[in-house]
């Protein structure tokens, strides 16, 4: 039998610092609790113990504090954001029916030690889970310590057994106490022997085992005279430190392993997880409500399956008169549910199935998707796309609950209906919500699929007024109605149109890359003097840093680091490094672009990407399956890919992009007069900045000066540090700091803005764009420096980046509307960051170029110009100009 005991304070502490802050709508921080539960579950899956318990420290002083007032005196107070989660975690453990132990006067470590020994005496194995190395002294043949560590947001565990401990330390686990007695422990303020560090202490314990043996053999031990002197003078401190570091294993704790056998969760766990908004955990554990509450009104009781055309016509008339109807359906539109409020605030849900309908299915859908019927949906862009495939209209959509939820909380990460229902109603979605929308497709389990369709439709209808109110309260209604909602139809049409690709040229490019890769492989093997797997970081590291002895190697737990940053620093040390970097570039171009894009070319020769509207926290669109927004442009060979995206015969591509949009927005938002004047002058902004920073005339600015000024200009928008800037432009940190100081002296309004925007964000808890797109920033209240610094960087750049995204989205809507209004055959087909691409007949080229420049430049009115330049060509590469 096996029992797992978890150090509650240690693991929640690591969860707190290892996960991005999460909070409920009421402002309760929950990320430490969430991290604890997920970490615990992963460990349970790994170990499969029959019993489980958790120990906690108490606030009251322990016997160690009473004996030594300096013990742990240097520890900082627990952050309030963590302290508020400790009682919540205990509530969760109680609801999960997991025993927890705490005892006045004793530390959690002492309880763990006692529990482990009681388990051993009862013939049980014990697994102690902690992030503190103190517990390593408890390791025996029947007690294993699972050491948990969190680094860069990633939690890892390491099993420490007698064998792995001896391999790591060179002595038995019990002598971990002796090691601490000698070297001390700054985190617990255990003094150790003054002047004796970890290296000396390790050598002494490895050689002599215990401090008793060390002091018995003084002064004849194998150590330097200075070390012997320090040990002699520090014996009293060593003995006291040994006592402080020793975990007590016979605490008067009422404990038997059998009392901790794992039990089913208590019913209240469901309600608690709802309150904490842990919808993923509700799904993971399959939790269900046990006490029936009064249900929200839904339409399932009055649902009807429509089979006759006469009934459909009656319903169409009813829907046309309604303020709005809710529509939810399958991706191929073979099944839909339309919900409508009728007189007396009652609801009617009509189920529409292509295989059951006796009338003209296409005509029914055409009427439903016309402007005559005002519709509410969820992810309506996808619904519109499905309609376009069947040559149906995409009009009359007035609300999208997924988009609204995204605007209300841009960092939630997921906007599926079951989770939104829990978030906003603190209830699980009624019906078989375990079925995701794509599982409905074949209607294989028709009864369950029908119930799920009804449930999802009712959820959309319930969320509509709540989210509509939420957007009004957050001052985002205008953004929603003028930008996000109309953009859905624009993107649906763009996805349908696709981008024509020269498949033959792409295949030839792939063959060219294959040849170059083969040549580079041989050159690399020749320089290495052996063949090896170039794609294996371990084998490559061995060749570069052990065999060829190249400098600046960085060794990780898995071997030598061979990432791009490391190799770039070595580029000029040996030709093989440049060849490896070139090899990687060609390999990626071949696999990701040449081979990858060839696979997704459709029969009509076009590639159709999918634009995601609810992914980025800044509001930018993203492109997936395939991602056409990251086609490489920085290298000559990479930019050739753009040359394979072409216009149809008799057509051209018109490409228009903004010039320095983020810097212009910085000038406008910060109100810096010097920066605004620079843009108003019409001269090159980077040159003018360089002239002011380096105190020279504009005509005396060198290319290096301009490059440095450009790096500072763009770096400021992203909250760059002097260290990062130094790396970017190849100067010392002191020089980079001086550049930044000169920059802020030149543009003092920017410095004021940067200070004000962070302070305002800290007060309000969020930042917003000019169009009131909002991003919450709980990170700014974190006690973790790295997390807080991240929040400050986001506060600096989100208003700029987010406003740029808003401007581009509004420009897309305006361009599409004007192309239609002027009756042009031109079609908007692609958006990439600050760039729009239109495919048009050759005869419309000049008109489209003018239209793009006018609409993009005039989309907002700033204190500085916002120019857009258009170019045209037969390929994307030519049109980019």
CA–CA separation, 541 vs 459, rounded Å?
A: 54
Residue with tokens 């050739």: 640
Length of the chain: 881
Domains of the chain: 2-161+247-260 (3.40.50.1010), 300-473 (3.30.420.10)
DSSP E strands in 94-207: the ranges are 100-101, 125-130, 143-151, 154-160
Q: Which is nearest to 454 in space by CA: 588, 329, 361, 309? A: 329
CA–CA separation, 241 vs 231, rounded Å?
A: 13
**Which pair of tokens denotes residue 543?**
């060749």
What is the predicted pLDDT for the residue at 859? 95
Residue 155 region by backbone torsions, left for phi larger than 0, else alpha for psi between -120 and 50, else beta: beta
pTM: 0.76
**Which pair of tokens denotes residue 846?**
């000049």
843-855: b or e for each residue (b if 16 or more CB lie within 10 Å)? ebbeebbebbbeb
Q: What DSSP line would sit under 199-220, residue for residue? A: HHHHHHHHHH-SHHHHHHHTTS
CA–CA separation, 345 vs 296, rounded Å?
A: 13
What is the predicted pLDDT for the residue at 294? 34
Residue with tokens 């930042």: 767
Taking the chain, what is the end-to-end CA distance rounded to the nearest angstrom?
71
Q: Which is nearest to 560 in space by CA: 580, 530, 582? A: 580
Q: Can you list the residues of the chain whose pLDDT is less than 70?
A: 26, 74-75, 151-153, 289-301, 343-345, 430-445, 552-558, 783-784, 881
What is the predicted pLDDT for the residue at 515? 96
Long-range contacts of range 198-207, CB-CB < 8 Å, 24 or more positions apart? Answer: 200/227, 202/169, 202/170, 205/169, 205/171, 205/175, 205/178, 205/179, 206/169, 206/170, 206/171
What is the predicted pLDDT for the residue at 428? 74
- 304 CB-contact burial (10 Å; exposed 0-12 / middle 13-18 / buried 19+): exposed
């Amino acid at each position: 039998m096996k029992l797992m005991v978890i150090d509650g304070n240690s693991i929640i502490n690591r969860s707190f610092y290892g996960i991005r802050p999460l909070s409920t709508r009421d402002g309760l921080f929950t990320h430490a609790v969430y991290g604890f539960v997920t970490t615990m579950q992963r460990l349970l899956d790994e170990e499969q113990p029959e019993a489980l318990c958790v120990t906690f420290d108490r606030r009251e002083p322990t016997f160690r504090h009473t004996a030594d007032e300096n013990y742990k005196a240097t520890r900082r107070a627990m952050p309030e954001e963590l302290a508020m989660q400790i009682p919540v975690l205990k509530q969760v453990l109680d609801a999960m029916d997991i025993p927890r132990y705490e005892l006045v006067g004793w530390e959690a470590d002492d309880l763990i030690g006692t529990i482990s020994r009681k388990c051993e005496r009862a013939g049980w194995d014990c697994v102690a889970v902690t992030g503190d190395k103190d517990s390593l002294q408890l390791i025996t043949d029947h007690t294993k310590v699972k050491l948990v560590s969190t680094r860069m947001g990633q939690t890892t565990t390491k099993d420490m057994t007698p064998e792995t401990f001896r391999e790591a330390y060179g002595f038995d686990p019990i002598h971990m106490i002796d090691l601490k007695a000698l070297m001390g422990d700054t985190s617990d303020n255990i003094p150790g022997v003054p002047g004796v560090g970890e290296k000396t202490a390790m050598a002494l314990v490895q050689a002599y085992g215990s401090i008793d043996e060390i002091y018995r053999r003084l002064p004849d031990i194998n150590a330097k005279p200075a070390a012997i002197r320090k040990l002699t003078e520090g014996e009293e401190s060593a003995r006291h430190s040994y006592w402080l570091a020793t975990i007590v294993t016979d605490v008067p704790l009422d404990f038997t392993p059998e009392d901790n056998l794992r039990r089913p969760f208590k019913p209240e766990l469901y309600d608690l997880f709802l309150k904490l908004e842990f919808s993923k955990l509700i799904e993971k554990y399959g939790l269900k409500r046990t006490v029936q509450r009064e249900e929200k009104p839904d339409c399932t009781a009055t649902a009807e399956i429509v089979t006759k055309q006469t009934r459909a016509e009656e319903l169409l008339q009813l829907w046309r008169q309604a303020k709005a109807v809710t529509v939810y359906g399958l991706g191929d539109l073979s099944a839909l549910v339309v919900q409508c409020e009728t007189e007396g605030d009652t609801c009617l849900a009509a189920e529409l199935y292509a295989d059951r309908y006796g009338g003209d299915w296409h005509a029914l859908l055409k009427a439903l998707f016309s402007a005559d019927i005002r519709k509410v949906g969820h992810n309506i862009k996808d619904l519109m796309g499905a309609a376009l495939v069947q040559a149906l209209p995409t009009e009359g959509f007035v609300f999208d609950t997924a988009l609204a939820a995204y605007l209300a909380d841009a960092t939630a990460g997921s906007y599926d209906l079951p989770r939104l229902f829990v978030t906003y109603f603190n209830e699980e979605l009624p019906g078989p919500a375990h079925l995701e929308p794509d599982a409905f497709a074949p209607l294989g389990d028709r009864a369950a699929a029908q119930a799920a369709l009804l449930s999802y439709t009712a959820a959309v209808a319930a969320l509509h007024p709540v989210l509509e109110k939420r957007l009004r309260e957050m001052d985002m209604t205008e953004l929603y109605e003028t930008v996000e909602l109309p953009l859905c139809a624009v993107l649906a049409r763009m996805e349908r149109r696709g981008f024509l690709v020269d498949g033959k040229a792409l295949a030839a490019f792939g063959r060219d890359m294959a040849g170059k890769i083969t040549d580079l492989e041989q050159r690399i093997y020749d320089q290495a003097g052996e063949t090896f797997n170039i794609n294996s970081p371990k084998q490559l590291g061995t060749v570069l840093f052990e065999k060829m002895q190249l400098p600046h190697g960085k060794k990780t737990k898995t071997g030598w680091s061979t990432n791009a940053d490391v190799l770039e620093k070595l580029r000029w040390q040996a030709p093989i490094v440049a060849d490896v970097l070139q090899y990687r570039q060609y390999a990626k171009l071949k696999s990701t672009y040449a081979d990858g894009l060839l696979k997704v070319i459709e029969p009509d020769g076009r590639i159709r990407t999918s634009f995601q509207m609810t992914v980025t926290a800044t509001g930018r669109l993203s492109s997936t399956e395939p991602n056409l927004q990251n086609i490489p442009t920085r290298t000559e060979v990479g930019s050739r890919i753009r040359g394979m995206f072409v216009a149809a015969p008799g057509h051209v591509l018109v490409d228009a992009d903004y010039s320095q949009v983020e810097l212009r927005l910085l000038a406008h938002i910060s109100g810096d007069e010097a920066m605004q004047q620079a843009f108003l002058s019409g001269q090159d902004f980077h040159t003018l900045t360089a002239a002011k920073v380096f105190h020279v005339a504009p005509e005396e600015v060198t290319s290096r000066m301009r490059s440095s000024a450009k790096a500072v200009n763009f770096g400021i928008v992203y909250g760059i540090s002097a260290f990062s800037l130094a790396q970017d432009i190849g100067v010392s940190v002191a020089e980079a700091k001086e550049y930044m100081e000169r920059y802020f002296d030149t543009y003092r309004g920017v410095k004021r803005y940067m200070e004000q925007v962070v302070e305002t964000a800290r007060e309000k808890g969020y930042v917003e764009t000019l169009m009131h797109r909002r991003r919450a920033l709980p990170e700014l209240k974190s006690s973790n420096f790295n997390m807080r610094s991240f929040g400050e960087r986001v506060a600096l750049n989100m208003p700029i980046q987010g406003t740029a995204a808003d401007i581009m989205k509004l420009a897309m809507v305006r361009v599409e509307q004007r192309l239609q209004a002027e009756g042009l055959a031109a079609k908007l087909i692609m958006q990439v960051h600050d760039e729009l691409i239109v495919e048009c007949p050759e005869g419309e080229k000049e008109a489209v170029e003018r239209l793009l420049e006018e609409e993009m430049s005039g989309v907002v009115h700033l204190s500085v110009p916002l120019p857009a330049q258009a170019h045209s060509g037969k390929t994307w590469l030519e049109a980019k100009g």
